[in-house]
A and B are shown apart, each in its own frame.
Chain A
Amino acid sequence: KQEVTQIPAALSVPEGENLVLNCSFTDSAIYNLQWFRQDPGKGLTSLLLIQSSQREQTSGRLNASLDKSSGRSTLYIAASQPGDSATYLCAVRYGGATNKLIFGTGTLLAVQP
């Protein structure tokens, strides 16, 4: 069964800290992996997408890595800000005819000013 797990479920850090969010997946035959941000009561904003052939992607203060062999991805946020407070979702797309994404349950991040 293809499952995606995220730890921790919740994280609270003081402003300015660097932090790492973790995502693991059970089947390494992925097509790509995507990190999203979800604000309360809002939709999803795509942050980074890593293809299966890539090791990492960077955008501003965000860096996502992918290790297919171990079934893991991390999202690194540098110099966290209160505006980073949100739920971060990891989603995996597997190969095959379907394009569906399998989501983790998310990490709720609170950055304290």
Chain B
Amino acid sequence: DAKTTQPNSMESNEEEPVHLPCNHSTISGTDYIHWYRQLPSQGPEYVIHGLTSNVNNRMASLAIAEDRKSSTLILHRATLRDAAVYYCILRSRGGYQKVTFGIGTKLQVIP
């Protein structure tokens, strides 16, 4: 599986935008970029995914580099409820969809 690299932790002030980076230099042409987040004592929840174009949904935006070797999850206005561990993962389109979660980025939101 192609791997991803994320910073271990980040801080943000409440109500400010947050940009969470992810490097995936070995991404293949069939890999989708997925983001999940995990609140304390809960299972991860899906946030957003994309292939080549930038994506927006009600939770966040996903900016994908032109060479697809990196991506950035954007939270437009961080709230205290956004404090979580954010995982960037790659999922291949073909065959069985095994997913490997790394350690992720622990986001701390400061009031």
Bound pair: A and B? no
